[in-house]
Chain A
Amino acid sequence: MATRVLMTGNDAIGEAAIRAGCDAYYGYPITPQNEITAFMALHMPENNRVFIQAESEISAINMVFGTAAAGKRAMTSSSSPGISLKQEGISFLAGAELPAVIVNVQRGGPGLGNIAPSQSDYFQATKGGGHGDYHQIVLAPDSVQEMHDLTILAFKLAGKYRTPVMILTDGRLGQMMEPLILYKGTPPPMQRKAWAVNGAINRKPNFIRSLYLVEGELETLNIKLQKKYAGIRQKEIRCEKRLTQDCEVLLVAYGTSARIAKGAIASVRAAGIRAGLLRPITLWPFPYDAIARIAKHVKGVLVVEMSSGQMLEDVKLAVNGHVPVFFEGRMGGGVPLESSIVKKIKSISRRKIMTGH
């Protein structure tokens, strides 16, 4: 049996990055992700990899750009305000089709906010964040094991699609310790790097471009990007379904909120109420179809988030008015209580379904 080790979520991400073959890590201190930067400061040099504490998040994401342009694996991590600063860089990575992994250990906002866990950067992460018509793949772990596993997956997807991948987690998952099994495989392969700027030896020079002034050129690039995104939507949607076969109330939650939702479901099931959970693991691409299919046979859907209701909009799009969608959330670093979720589930389960008109 594989041995399990005890680690914080933040360390589990760092350890995974090294095991995924991350060549360079660039960071800037911000709570509650500081453990990642400290972990990388200690362990990247031990593994003959590059570590730089940059002068800002802006500089860090652009160092990532350089390393990715050179055809190597790069990662940066930060928390909400720092991630805001990285948005221009992420847009550039998407436009130049460069692979990179970005970790957002979310904290409460807006502004400097606080250092409590939050999920209020969902819009920023899934709807673009930076300028231009682009998407990044967004992965949402809900355990320390997944912090580790999804980091490996992030490098794999970044390399496969030549696109930035964000791990969207929060301060609670980052700080808490759980046992996990470490990745033992080889680093995921990168695509052939015929495009990299690593020296024009026996080949024509390569250019990594960001500006397209000739009429139509930029539209062509955008069409290419959208094709890539369509492929990602088709192949990479991931979600966990728990007790959704027979459920009359469907909960949708990710990350920390999903853990609390699982507790609430166990408690109402004991009381004979059939609740189930769909937990998106990819927030972009979003599991619209999976939610729509389950929503067909439930009395109502309950979205649980640590925000004012951001993923809620995507769930409503998925449900498309078929059944009512309810919301339970806390803002500004507040964490939803299991008891209030239970209350909402109970009231939804009492609803009478109207059939016919």
Chain B
Amino acid sequence: MIKDMIYDRPESLTDVKTHYCPGCGHGIVHTLIAETIDSLKIRERTIGVAPVGCSVLAYFYMNFDVTEAAHGRTPSVATGIKRVLPDRIVFSYQGDGDLAAIGMAETIHTANRGENITVVFINNAVYGMTGGQMAPTSLIGQKTATSPRGRNVETMGPPLRMCELLNSLDKPYHIERVAIDGPDGVRKARKALMTAFKAQVDGKGYSFVEILSPCPIYQRLSPVDALKFVGTQMAAYFPVGVFRKEGTVVNA
């Protein structure tokens, strides 16, 4: 049976022009989050926490309450909200610098406490906002402003796999990685976000969705090639899939 599909702007998304670069993944994920919030009918009780990064102005696009947070402290701010408003739906939205570099301690400890929040992690393998520096998730050999000769494992270490890292903790309820490298990936991302937010609505605990995402400008590729980079090179190092389902490790 084919369901009626209405292609319209979700209520949770504002009707404004985007400041994101052509081909950027942030806009796609904003839309997916808005759609998820609409389907779960939680717009009026959702509070987003925006990071320091390209998506610092996310509130501009979100038609629900949003606060900014200091760089990397996004999950701590989310914790501070959720603990005093436990019936609200609280999510943090973070880039790889925010989540896996400066905010690594907050990321791990928030997950380890099993805070009943949702973390949406945009992994674009670079620091976008500051001008394309190396991220903790930049690929081996990847050229960035601060790895001009390519990321060297000897001196810079290999990229961090956050889903795998968090999967070693006891408390997370859902951990999943998707790649928005095309329509199929976008559909999977929507489904992952739905699972994650639903888990929070049902009070199940910490959910984490990593989204491999294009950044044509600083991945130094055309928008089309950036999608290919996400689907092939990034996905080769960061395998997509469900790592934790209903609190159980499924892909150790």
Stretch at the interface among B41-49, B188-196, B219-227: B41-49
Q: B24-64: which have CB < 8 Å to A? A: 43-47, 49, 52, 56-57, 59, 62-64
- A58: which B residues are within 8 A, CB to CB? 73, 76, 105-106
Instruction: Give complex CA distance A88, B52 in Å.
Output: 13
In A20-71, the 8 Å CB interface with B consists of 23-24, 26, 50, 52, 54-56, 58-60, 62-70
Q: Is the C-beta of A171 less than 8 angstroms from some C-beta in chain B?
A: no
B241 CB to closest chain A CB, in angstroms?
29
A200 lies within 8 A of chain B by Cβ: yes
Q: In the complex the two chains form, what is the Cα distance from A86 to B67 in whole Å?
A: 19
B73 & A24 in contact (Cβ 8 Å cutoff): no
B45 contact set on A, CB distance < 8 A: 199, 201
B225 to chain A, nearest CB (A): 30
A66 touches B66 (CB 8 A): no
| CB under 8 Å from chain A, chain B span 74-91 | 76-85, 88
B164 at the interface (CB under 8 A from A): no
Complex contacts, A88 vs chain B, CB 8 Å: 70
B109 within 8 Å of A (CB atoms)? yes
Residues of B in contact (CB 8 Å), total 36
Contact of B79 among A66, A96, A209 (CB under 8 A): A66
Tell me the complex Cα distance, A180–B210, Å: 53
Question: Which chain A residues in 196-213 approach chain B with CB under 8 Å?
Answer: 197-202, 205-211, 213
- Asked if residues B88 and A65 are in contact (CB atoms below 8 Å), the reply is no
Return the CB mask of B107-142 against A: 1 if under 8 Å, else 0: 011000100000000000000000000000000000
A72–B82 alpha-carbon span in the complex (Å): 11
| A-B interface pairs (CB < 8 A), number | 129
Q: Is the CB of B70 within 8 A of A199?
A: no
B76 A208 Cβ-Cβ under 8 A: no
Considering only CB atoms, which chain A residue lies closest to B78 in the complex?
A66
Q: Which of B52, B70, B82, B108 contacts A65 (CB 8 A)?
A: B70
Decide: A59 and B109 in contact? CB cutoff 8 A.
yes
Q: Which 3 A-B pairs have the closest CB atoms?
A: A66-B80, A62-B73, A208-B67
Task: Using A62-B77, A67-B84 as known contacts, say yes or no to A197 and B66 having CB atoms under 8 A apart.
Answer: yes
Tell me if A62 and B109 are in contact (CB < 8 A). Answer: no
Within 8 A of B (CB), among A208-265: 208-211, 213
Asked if A92 is an interface residue, CB under 8 A from chain B, the answer is yes
Q: Are A205 and B64 in contact (CB under 8 A)?
A: yes
A26 touches B80 (CB 8 A): yes
Q: Closest chain B residue to A49 by CB distance? A: B84
In the complex, which of the residues A24, A199, A210 contacts B80, with contact meaning CB atoms closer than 8 Å? A24
